[in-house]
Amino acid sequence: MVSEEKNQNNIIRSELILDNTKYIFTDKPINRFKTKPKVEDISLKLEELRDEIEKIENCELKKNASKLVFSDGDNRSKIMIVGEGPGQKEDEVGKPFVGDAGILLNKMLKSISVERKNVYITNVVNYRPPNNRKPEPNEITKYSNFLRKHISIIDPKILILMGSSAMESLFGSKIKITKERGLWKEIIINNKTYLCMITFHPAYLLRQPENKKYSWTDLKEIRKKIDQLNLIL
Ligand code: URA
């Protein structure tokens, strides 16, 4: 059965019921030119988020750290990398991944022809955990709201979660990185689906270099996806 009508804007809408399924057809034009958010809007939202994090209370991490480490890189990038938390060097400089793990991260990106300056980098927690300990589960949960907002603002096409803290922050603690790494996953944040890859953290690779071969497989997958999606970096 087909029914057809025009609304006041002269848009034709027809309905077809076939095998108990209703199909709706309309000649309403589709806007294929999605407007990109302006750089100023992104920067403003990031500043607001930073202010929000700065106001966090009753936080052991904040009490012990010397500064907030928010992010580094291109805030219009289609690739967003999430690490664990600032170390000593990051705490001094105020930028993520500027110590030894950062040097390895830069090399890993270079190996797939990606320049660090063309990606956006942040961490699960934004203050250095004392003695570089892993963030506690309650800290990961507390900061995961900020991370989710951060991801929504950057709106990446590919999200790379480095290490188990980043994985736990978005997927919970019931899964194991050794099983989950290297697979494309989807995560819904604020009604939007993000494509995501969990991979080993560079600091872990410095301690366990024999596992670099797995990271290399993951990196090649990421490169393949960048090419498939035609991402310009
Ligand atoms: N390790 C991380 O996870 N993040 C940094 O910023 C530095 C080291």
96 lines ligand 1 (CB under 6 A): yes
Ranking 15-29, 157-171, 189-203 by mean pLDDT, the lowest is 15-29
User: Residue 22's pLDDT band (boundaries 50, 70, 90)?
Assistant: low
CATH topology of domain 38-228: Uracil-DNA Glycosylase, subunit E (3.40.470)
Residue 229 confidence (pLDDT) above 80: yes
- Give residue-wise pLDDT tens across range 190-227: 999 999 999 999 999 999 999 999 999 999 999 999 99
**Ligand 1 atom at minimal distance to the Cα of residue 162:** 3
Half-sphere exposure of 104 toward its Cβ, with a 13 Å CA cutoff? 18
90 lines ligand 1 (CB under 6 A): yes
Q: Region 135-154: what's the mean pLDDT? A: 98
Residue 13 confidence (pLDDT) above 90: no
User: Residue 33's pLDDT band (boundaries 50, 70, 90)?
Assistant: low
**Ligand 1 atom at minimal distance to the Cα of residue 163:** 3
Query: Could you tell which of 82, 97, 205 is best to mutate to test the pocket of ligand 1, judged by most ligand atoms within 8 Å of the CB?
Result: 97
Residue 11 confidence (pLDDT) above 70: no
**Ligand 1 atom at minimal distance to the Cα of residue 95:** 6
Q: For residue 32, what pLDDT is reported?
A: 66
CA distances from 206 to 42, 86, 87, 221 (A): 34, 16, 14, 21
Write 103-111 long-range contacts (CB < 8 A, 24+).
Answer: 104/202, 104/205, 104/206, 105/81, 105/162, 105/202, 108/202, 108/215, 108/219, 111/216, 111/219
202 lines ligand 1 (CB under 6 A): no
Q: Region 41-69: what's the mean pLDDT? A: 97
Q: Region 35-57: what's the mean pLDDT? A: 92
User: Residue 171's pLDDT band (boundaries 50, 70, 90)?
Assistant: very high
Residue type, 180: E
Residue 6 confidence (pLDDT) above 80: no
129 lines ligand 1 (CB under 6 A): no
> Token pair for residue 37?
């958010």
Domain ranges of the chain: 38-228
pTM of the predicted model as reported, rounded to 2 decimal places: 0.85
The phi-psi region of residue 41 (left if phi > 0; otherwise alpha if psi is between -120 and 50; otherwise beta) is alpha
Q: For residue 26, what pLDDT is reported?
A: 76
Q: Residue 97 C-alpha to ligand 1 middle, in angstroms? A: 5
β-pair partners for 13: 5, 26
> Token pair for residue 93?
């400089």
